[in-house]
Amino acid sequence: MMKRGLQLLVGVSLMAGLWLGPASPEASALSCAEPRKITEELKVSDIVFRGTLVSYDENADFMKSTYTFSVSEWWKGDLEKGTITLHPTGWDTFEEGREYIVFANAGKERVKARLCGNTGPSSSVDTSSLGEGKQPAASELPERTASGAGFGNLLGSVIEIIRFLCSKY
């Protein structure tokens, strides 16, 4: 009889545990603090330019994907070049044919846009505090590569929606 009562108590406890559900921790997402002032961002960036994305070479191996920009104005970096190639950070939302102001860092082997910085479409970045930029000496344009389609663009769209929603709250 005692054994039967113990089995009943364990059974009721298990059912109550399943009904109430396991305690789940709160989820949180990556968010950025307010970007630095443009002049501060200029100081901490290795490369700053205005350029149009002319190609995105989406590779199956994310680490080999690249963005190629045609540079129209330099504030910091290799001021003679007409193009620059960046590697994705995973949070980039660049679109081919669109002009951007890019604040980037040069790593050992890769140049990447700064995370949580002021990089963005040129129409939304006030460059007046950067001073006058320099036009590149060479204006070579790379051959267009096939535009990345599929998962990469979908991921970029989802990230852009998240950024938009985060800025609203």
Q: Which CATH number fits domain 38-168: 1.10.3120, 3.90.1280, 3.40.50, 2.40.50?
A: 2.40.50
Hey, where are the domains in the chain? 38-168
pLDDT, tens digit, 9 for 90 and up, residues 77-101: 988 999 999 999 988 889 999 999 9
Span 100-117, pLDDT tens digits: 999 999 988 899 999 888
Q: How far is CA 165 from CA 16, 94, 101, 161, 162, in A?
A: 38, 18, 22, 6, 5
Q: Six-digit token pair at 21?
A: 């559900």
What would the pLDDT profile of 43-72 be if each residue is shown by its tens digit?
A: 999 999 999 999 999 888 888 899 999 999
